[in-house]
Amino acid sequence: MLKDLPQNTVKDIGIAVALEGESIESKTWYVYLINLKDVALETVLVTSKGYGEKDGEQVKTSVLRHAFPEVAPKSFKLIEPIDEATFGLNNEYWLSYYIGNQIYDKKFIFLPESIIDANFIKLPVVNKPGVMIL
């Protein structure tokens, strides 16, 4: 039965954590969905959660859900702010969307300590420094 399902591969779609601003006291971070495709994404759903070990104990954050009717071609959507304290956890984003009548989905996971200056790039479309998973 699984062999009968289409293999809809997610390409040219990224989830990025961008540095928005910096002060002496703190940094401001946001998570973005980046559509690098030439077509719009429709009925977009994103769930986010954090999990892992901190100070020897298992930790889980709340699951947050976000919906967007459409993400235009070559554009981005702000998903949510993210607290720097969660960078030591796995930060998971599960994306589902339609193109026409075909559904696509993919899980993006920022591993612990992967959101660091050494991994920064200039994020396409958003034009800010950050870390992106394609």
Q: Using a cut of 0.85, tell me whether the model's pTM lies above it.
A: yes
With respect to residue 8, please indicate whether it lies within any of the assigned structural domains.
no
Domain harbouring 127, CATH code: 2.60.40
Name 27's bridge partners. 22
With respect to residue 69, please indicate whether it lies within any of the assigned structural domains.
yes
Total number of domains constituting the chain: 1
pLDDT at 35: 97
With respect to residue 5, please indicate whether it lies within any of the assigned structural domains.
no
Structural domain boundaries, residue 66: 14-133
With respect to residue 3, please indicate whether it lies within any of the assigned structural domains.
no
CA distances from 42 to 27, 32, 96, 98 (A): 32, 16, 9, 5
pLDDT tens track, the chain, 134 positions: 556 656 788 999 999 999 988 877 888 999 999 999 999 999 999 999 999 998 889 999 999 999 999 999 999 999 999 999 899 999 999 999 999 999 999 999 999 989 998 999 999 999 999 999 99
With respect to residue 6, please indicate whether it lies within any of the assigned structural domains.
no
With respect to residue 87, please indicate whether it lies within any of the assigned structural domains.
yes
